[in-house]
Structure 1
């Protein structure tokens, strides 16, 4: 996670993204849609990872403008471009996501080879330990097993943290709601990622509230399949939430 507080050595020579669409100008409506959703801040998008495979391009981008947007906005943008040179046009998909590993997962689900979209180690704070690296690999590789219901990104230099609530798509999964927390140590310029398990959306959201206000206790462990007892009445998996919508409503049918 980059931020306005990143060290000057990281900030001074950030790479720029090139979408390579100059010769694809026949579809003005599609260009306008792409501009509004992606390219409007092109000069402020930092490519954390990218892969090009023939007509397909996959990008994990850090949006440097998100810090001035709606409070809590996700700062990572996943983009999949498909060029049609014969027709001089293109199609695209994009998704704002809170964690780079989630953006990698989203792109892998759309055909990017898993080993081809590794993050640039020179950008952003590196993982502080092996548990962080292991959880990031699992999120990138198994992200299609979960739906995101809520996230909040805080780049307060005194407490840089991202909280994410995920819902397991497998109805028999232990701890059907997961909270993933990324914390940045601004002194060592490293980050940690941890996961906790909850039985209900309300419990997961309450823990996030408490973490953002400095009152949270330790994350509860994810229960094993042997001890899982799925609660009744759990709502179906939500789509990523729009800004301003009640968080608890995100987990309603």
Structure 2
């Protein structure tokens, strides 16, 4: 069971309903949606959803992700826009490693921030206020960062998600961030923490060390006043995944 999969439930898990039965005029688009999203519809758990006229926004846990390549994101963000007059629709989707990142993706596509809260009965409660605060910030400020790398580990002895981010503002303090979610399987509560790095290589090395059990504490994020990078500096290279040792 993954860090973001709903805890063992006391009632049946709801299934997602995309409400597209009458919107099949554009067969190519319908088939594209089916191949990319709908084919797994009965394995998608709606952690959050919001409907606003022709728009629907979904944060989904994809229970099929564990069957794919190791480390793949297990949360899926989907934005649907329906046109009932033409009997068709458009869609966007994004696999993301953390629910807060899916919320952010949807918020920056028009979903009201206060309308896409996670269903408390479907997911484990945050372990502490620091986790809640970081979740809120990731959801609200997610467009300030680009994701370069993520890995989701389903190891029952060490359930962890690591994410490396690059600040889009080159003057940002600690321009490279690592967000790590760890789940206490005794209490079934996730803890979310963030660390700051000066280079992408340092950030990716910490991720790799964490996945092999060799990482030290996350370095703190430097405060904004400590940032003193010159405006004419070279742009950071695109992040690349670390070499996995296992």
Q: Say whether the fold is shared (TM-score over 0.5).
A: yes
- Give RMSD over aligned pairs: 2.0
Q: Counterparts of 2:4 and 2:242 in 1: how far apart (Å)?
A: 31
The TM-score with structure 1 as length reference comes to 0.90
User: Which segments of 5 or more consecutive residues in structure 2 lack a partner in the other structure?
Assistant: none
Change (3 A) 1:139 1:162: same
Change (3 A) 1:23 1:237: same
Q: How far apart are residue 83 of structure 1 and its match?
A: 0.1
Where do residues 126-205 of structure 1 align in structure 2 (5 Å cutoff)?
Answer: 126-205=125-204
Change (3 A) 1:82 1:6: closer
The reply to whether residue 9 of structure 1 matches residue 9 of structure 2 is: yes
Contact 1:2–1:62, Cα closer than 8 Å, also in 2: no
Q: Counterparts of 1:176 and 1:5 in 2: how far apart (Å)?
A: 30
Q: How far apart are residue 230 of structure 1 and its match?
A: 3.4
Q: Counterparts of 1:5 and 1:170 in 2: how far apart (Å)?
A: 33
Q: Counterparts of 1:21 and 1:87 in 2: how far apart (Å)?
A: 13
The TM-score with structure 2 as length reference comes to 0.93
C-alpha distance after superposition, 1:1-53 (max 9, x if no partner)? 8569865435x611100000001111110011101111111000000000000
Where do residues 16-95 of structure 1 align in structure 2 (5 Å cutoff)?
Answer: 16-95=15-94
Counterpart secondary structure, 2:9: helix
Change (3 A) 1:7 1:59: closer
Q: Counterparts of 2:80 and 2:123 in 1: how far apart (Å)?
A: 24
Contact 2:170–2:235, Cα closer than 8 Å, also in 1: no
Q: Which residue of 2 aligns with 1:243?
A: none
The reply to whether residue 111 of structure 1 matches residue 110 of structure 2 is: yes
Counterpart secondary structure, 1:165: strand
Query: Size of the alignment, in residue pairs?
Result: 241
Contact 1:5–1:157, Cα closer than 8 Å, also in 2: no
Q: How far apart are residue 247 of structure 1 and its match?
A: 1.5
Counterpart secondary structure, 2:154: strand
Q: Counterparts of 1:161 and 1:186 in 2: how far apart (Å)?
A: 11
Q: Counterparts of 2:141 and 2:206 in 1: how far apart (Å)?
A: 24
Q: Counterparts of 1:248 and 1:192 in 2: how far apart (Å)?
A: 24
C-alpha distance after superposition, 1:99-130 (max 9, x if no partner)? 00000000000000010000001112110000
Contact 1:147–1:237, Cα closer than 8 Å, also in 2: no
Change (3 A) 1:87 1:138: same
Q: Which residue of 1 aligns with 2:236?
A: 235
Contact 2:205–2:242, Cα closer than 8 Å, also in 1: no
